[in-house]
Structure 1
Amino acid sequence: MAGDGRDVIKILTHEHREVEDMFDELSAATDPAERRRITDDVTIELVRHSGAEEMNLYPAVRRFEPGGDELADKEISDHAEVELIIKELEQADTEHRSFTTLVRRLIDDVSTHVQDEEGNLFPRLADKATGDELRMLGEQVQSAKGIAPTRPHPSAPNTPPLNKLLAPGAGLVDRVRDHLSGRGRG
């Protein structure tokens, strides 16, 4: 939906609510195949969302916000922790107790991160950036999600310029793998 005129804060807040709905669905699922399908969907959404934020939102935070480097670095660190949990979930047996523990850790970590973004980062950015700048960032984030990876790559760079150079290639490879495996079409 690039070019729909929504600002970055509205777009990302909407995505946060979608992820929370997916978490509710995952928490309620009991069928192992259904748990795997939902986990794959959550993974795709979180990895794309994080990649888009790292490519566009956090560089803007560094630019607009005094002390933005520290703020952006903390958010990127949160993403790295979540990505490690997602990587573990990819390998975990959906019928094993450890899967439920990993899901709980993921939900808790993402929830804390979302609260921090919505309660701290977004208001600070809204205070410093103009409406046009926020809308432009929204378009950039939506565009980035179209090329961002869909699988965790914990060792990949997560800051510009390398993430902007390498993410589209990783994203393409991930989408080809997803297409061939049927992942994400549940």
Structure 2
Amino acid sequence: MPQGIIEALRQDHDEVRQMFAQLETATGDQRRDLFHRLVGELIRHEVAEEEILRPVSKRDAGEEIANARIREESQAEELLKEMEKLDTDSPEFTAKLGKLRTEVERHAEAEETQEFPKVAQKESPERLEQMGKVYEAAKKAAPTRPHPSTPNTPVANMLAGPFAAVLDRARDAVRDAMKSNS
């Protein structure tokens, strides 16, 4: 059943919340693998959201609200990049994971309470459903790793995103192949 962009984004938020809960108790390879899944999910979600929702949100919810969400996404991307270099069982990683979870949950709450209602109020159900379809397609084509040096704008995502996505998926495949051979 087709769903609108707001439902798709809320579903993503719920999945990410579940991943954070699993990460808190996981250790070793399971924790590392869950973290890689979380990174991929967060990055694909944010890139597709910036391409599809943000331009509409700037108009419907206002520039201030949309720009605040973009800033939050950039901060989370920086933190993810730092975390990728750490041992997932280290105390430093655990501390940063707690900080990331707090930031991501605060971000999702702000979207769900400040941004989504205003977009839902101003856009037709048909438009929201169309945006949901485009969002899902954009998410499939999005990068899977943080690229904090790339501007978080729809144009930058559309220009650099496909190249970054190909490179990210190649790196993911190598990582997965190395893991299965060890």
Partner amino acid for 1:90?
A: E
Counterpart of 1:149?
Answer: 143
Aligned residues of 2:141 and 2:162 also touching (Cα < 8 A):
yes
Displacement of 1:161: 1.7
The equivalent of 1:17 in structure 2 is 14
Deviation at 1:139, TM superposition (A): 0.9
Residue of structure 1 equivalent to 2:46: 50
Work out the number of aligned pairs and report it: 179
- Write the letter of the residue equivalent to 2:19: M
Q: CA deviation at 1:77?
A: 0.4
Deviations 1:47-99 (A, max 9, x none): 0000001111101112334xx22221111101001111111110112232111
Task: Flag structure 2 segments of 5+ consecutive residues without an equivalent.
Answer: none
Q: State which drifts further: 171-180 or 143-152.
A: 171-180
State how far apart, in whole Å, the 2-side matches of 1:85 and 1:61 are.
25
> How far 1:32 moved relative to its partner?
2.2
What is the identity, as a one-letter code, of the residue corresponding to 1:40?
H
2:66 is the counterpart of 1:69: no
Deviates further, 48-57 or 31-40:
31-40
Where in structure 2 are the equivalents of 1:58-137 lying within 5 Å? 58-65=54-61, 68-137=62-131
Superposed CA RMSD in Å reads 1.6
Q: Which TM-score applies when normalising by structure 2? A: 0.93
Q: CA deviation at 1:43?
A: 0.3
Match of 1:28 in 2: 25
1:27-62 residue CA offsets vs partner (Å, 9 max, x unmatched): 111x22221111111000000000001111101112
Following TM superposition, by how much is the alpha carbon of 1:138 offset from its aligned partner in structure 2, in angstroms? 0.5
CA distance in 2, matches of 1:84, 1:123: 28
Identify which of 32, 35, 38 aligns with 2:34.
38
Q: Percent identity at matched positions? A: 37
The answer to whether the 8 A contact 2:74-2:148 is kept is yes
Counterpart-to-counterpart distance in 2, 1:109 and 1:137: 26
Aligned partner letter, 1:38: L
The offset of 1:163, in angstroms, is 1.8
Which structure is higher in helix share? Answer: 2
Give the equivalent residue in structure 2 for 1:182.
Answer: 176
The AA in structure 1 aligned to 2:2 is G
Aligned partner of residue 151 in structure 1, secondary structure:
coil
Using the alignment, how far apart are the partners of 2:156 and 2:36 within structure 1? 26
Q: Do the aligned partners of 2:65 and 2:114 also contact (CA within 8 Å) in 1?
A: no
Structure 1 window deviating more from structure 2 (169-178 vs 100-109): it is 169-178
* Runs of 4+ residues deviating >3 angstroms: none
